[in-house]
Structure 1
Amino acid sequence: MTRVVVVGGVAGGMSCAARARRLDESAEIIVLERGRYVSFANCGLPYYVGGEIVEADRLLVQTPERLRAALNLDVRTGHEVVALDAAAREVVVRTSAGEERIGYDALVLSPGAVAARPPIEGLDSLRVQTLRTVEDATGLRERVEAGARRAMVLGAGFIGLEAAEALARQGLATSVVECAPQVLPPLEAEHAWLVQEELTRLDIAVHTGTAARSIVTGPDQDTVVLDDGTRLAADVIVLAAGVRPDTAVFEAAGVVCEQGALVVDEHGRTSLDGVWAVGDATVSVDPVTGVRRPV
């Protein structure tokens, strides 16, 4: 029996596991997810913070139990892959019970990304958090319901602006800081201007062309100091300054990477035999032209 091990759940890993089952009904398919939830609606997280989604359970798409019943998948949450031994075809997994080694015939990597952490003094403040997981969303909403009055969002990309809108709708005085000269930097300026107009209509203060220099922790609030000297108080600070591939474990094991992204060919194969990769932590390299593009 072929054993397929998938590292990482949510969209990339679970889609791959489901497809593998359809291709081989007899394979043993194990999904290793370090978090508590293997399948949830990422795009719904800000709407839970904003109160439009009332119950956190509505964010969950699938559970390990339902995936086993429907597709015979062995989904293991709370299992973090901390090493890869490609020669032995094993991964080392850390769980609450300790470490174990799991062998594979085929390994699929879908590690996703982690929040980028700019060099901001004081970024380790307990009032700073991200918005990438169900736990992040529930924690942020708890802070809102506990009486937070002022919010600061560092980064005006898609997640940052959705978080800002959610917090403003909950009645918090909300500010957004973006080092680029406009919100949503990938957009054309005339389109970004329309977005900024909507932010203004929602009473969200927008600071573009500047960045957070430091975060000064206080007993009741933090103070975010910007490069232009502006000082802004905040009960809640959302870090939304982009992401980076979460691939250090696999790069250390010999998988070729570029700027942290796992390099794959047109079939999703990495540089290691028997190891594939999918999702937003990969980059494809055309074998003829050498052109690189995200997968």
Structure 2
Amino acid sequence: MKKIVIVGGVAGGMSAATRLRRLMDDAEIIIMEKGPYVSFANCGLPYHISGEIAERSDLIVQTPEALQARFKLDIRSEHEVTKVNPENKTIEVLHNDEVFTETYDELILSPGAKPFIPSIPGLDAATNAFSLRNVPDLDKIMSQLKENEVKEAVVIGAGFIGVEMAENLKKFGLNVTLVEMAPHVLPPLDEEMAAFVEAELKRNGVRVITSQSANEFRNNGKEVVLTDGQIIPSDLTILSVGVRPENSLAEAAGIKLGRQGGILVDNNYQTNIPNIYAVGDAIIVKQQITGEDTMIALASPANRQGRQVADVIAGLNRKNQGSIGTAIVRAFNLTAASTGLNERVAQLSGLNHIAIHTTGKDHAGYYPGATSLTIKLVFDPETGKILGAQGIGQKGVDKRIDVIATAIKGGLTIFDLMELEFTYAPPFGSAKDPVNMLGYVASNIVEGLSDSVAWHELQTQLNDGKQVLDVRSPDELANGQYPNAINIPVNELRERLNELDRTQPYIISCASGARSYIAERILKQNGFTVANLDGGFNLYNTVKPEDIIHENN
């Protein structure tokens, strides 16, 4: 009978344990969890703060008793593994202030990641500063909210968890300030896509401060001093500036570490030490698109890795194929999701790439309740390889980004996006789904039917002598106008070609880029030099509103 010890529960550890039991009913399986809960919904923690998840007990996915009854697992909560002795295949465990030794045949490390706590003057004395990673962290935050007069909350870090915390603290009824060191919220997204989320946060009363970080805590944390000298009052501060792999146990055992201190494993999750495996947020994985080492701290990959390492130990031929990083977040009435590489990372990686944006509806526009959906696609124009995508909208974002993530995993190209078949009825989608439209737009560029100008290239091209031709209707101009633009509605364009100069290069814009493509084709076939402004007026106005003329200016 094989004895398998798993260090750490939750996603990776518990997935490994339950899969092992399904494959090896005679194995002895022990889970050592240093916290009080071996199986809880850590991704759901922020939503209990606002009351959206009303019962704390709903966050506890499985109890040790239930796991023992169904899977015959030896669950040992509040057992902290303090040392691994690979030479004699034992671990040392701290429980109730006593240390004992446990043997293993196979050891799986699933320690997860820990919040990164920056070294900031005054933070140690701040009694109102917390991070949120587990249920005990949640309990501390809830106690602060219930036992003290809390009106002002500051969230340091505007990543996915930071945005979720800002939303839920605001729904709890607090004045919330969200501080991010990067130039925009949600750094995994590109600037123009994150601009939609920032606007939604502000619409809902969250104060957003970017390009700043906490420089000092004063008055026992009641005052947060930013790098520019601003002083933000705080009754509750949430530190959400990222995570680091929990690697101390592995490092002390002589297990090799990689970038950012992540545990190095091969494609069977084997560390450099025999019979010791590792999974979850603490390990280095291959970015499947670039092949580079990276860390992806997400629940879905951790669950998959736990299952796969169990397969390996049970003798099945299973390989870790890497991850692409697919994530989603809600900010009030808006959803933001991403998969694969953003444009910034593609550029830093030296990859040949083009980025495009399309705007459509989550379902048929004529059916009630349709809402806007903006998707960005990053791809290689030579091969058609899909590098990544981001989506913003009220509804339907998850569906489209999941489809594109599947396409990336399956090795599909932009040309295959045109061929994908979606279920269609007016309440659910469109006859030409937004993902199909991405394929159409991308193929038009690759095949030379369209030339694209990115939003951040517009001003440079105008300085070089090009002219904006706005083909929106006169009514739409009330939403704002490009300075010095020519306006000819697309439906009138053929009859008004004589108003344009064939020696003048034009950049054509409409609301989203669809009608301007029609105008581009008309003009090109009549001898004009033109390009299409990618994403159109709506995208440009979101990210560069200061460059737009509005009636109230």
Normalising by structure 1, we get a TM-score of 0.95
Alignment check: 8 A CA contact 1:56 1:138 kept: no
Residues paired across the two proteins, number: 291
The 1-side partners of 2:232 and 2:291 are apart by: 47
Question: In terms of mean alpha carbon deviation, does 76-85 or 88-97 score higher?
Answer: 88-97
Structure 1 runs, 4 residues or longer, greater than 6 Å off? none
1:18 aligned to 2:52? Answer: no
Alignment check: 8 A CA contact 2:128 2:144 kept: no
Question: CA deviation digits over 1:1-25, x for unaligned, max 9?
Answer: 1100000000110001111111210
Alignment check: 8 A CA contact 1:48 1:141 kept: no
Counterpart residue type for residue 185 of structure 1: P
Alignment check: 8 A CA contact 1:150 1:235 kept: yes
Alignment check: 8 A CA contact 1:224 1:233 kept: yes
Question: CA deviation digits over 1:243-273, x for unaligned, max 9?
Answer: 0000112111110001311100011000001
Counterpart residue type for residue 142 of structure 2: R
SS of residue matched to 1:19: helix
Aligned to 1:210: 212
Aligned to 1:186: 188
Alignment check: 8 A CA contact 1:263 1:285 kept: no
Question: CA deviation digits over 1:14-55, x for unaligned, max 9?
Answer: 001111111210000000000011111112101101111121
The 1-side partners of 2:274 and 2:217 are apart by: 46
Shift in Å, 1:97: 4.3
The 1-side partners of 2:163 and 2:139 are apart by: 18
Shift in Å, 1:139: 2.0
Classify 1:284/1:44 alpha carbon distance in 2 versus 1 (closer, same or farther; 3 Å).
closer
SS of residue matched to 2:274: coil
Shift in Å, 1:137: 1.5
Structure 1 gaps of 5+ residues are none
Alignment check: 8 A CA contact 2:270 2:278 kept: yes
Alignment check: 8 A CA contact 1:152 1:176 kept: yes
Instruction: Give matches, 1:69-88, under 5 Å.
Output: 69-88=69-88
| Aligned counterpart for 2:156 among listed residues 151, 154, 174 | 154
The 2-side partners of 1:205 and 1:30 are apart by: 47
The 2-side partners of 1:138 and 1:29 are apart by: 30
Question: In terms of mean alpha carbon deviation, does 105-114 or 121-130 score higher?
Answer: 121-130
Counterpart residue type for residue 138 of structure 1: D
Aligned to 1:275: 276
Instruction: Give matches, 1:202-281, under 5 Å.
Output: 202-218=204-220, 222-258=222-258, 259-281=260-282
The 2-side partners of 1:107 and 1:137 are apart by: 30
Instruction: Give matches, 1:123-162, under 5 Å.
Output: 123-124=123-124, 125-146=126-147, 147-162=149-164
The 2-side partners of 1:229 and 1:95 are apart by: 46
The 1-side partners of 2:123 and 2:54 are apart by: 30
Shift in Å, 1:285: 6.4
The 2-side partners of 1:16 and 1:97 are apart by: 28
- Greater per-residue strand proportion: 1
Shift in Å, 1:102: 0.7
Counterpart residue type for residue 81 of structure 1: V
Which structure ranks higher in relative contact order (CA pairs < 8 Å, sequence separation ≥ 6)?
1
Shift in Å, 1:119: 2.2
The 1-side partners of 2:254 and 2:275 are apart by: 13
Q: CA RMSD in A?
A: 1.6
Aligned to 1:52: 52
The 1-side partners of 2:127 and 2:93 are apart by: 29
Alignment check: 8 A CA contact 1:32 1:75 kept: yes
Aligned to 2:66: 66
Counterpart residue type for residue 107 of structure 1: L
Question: CA deviation digits over 1:183-216, x for unaligned, max 9?
Answer: 0011011110011011101211111001100001
- Greater per-residue helix proportion: 2
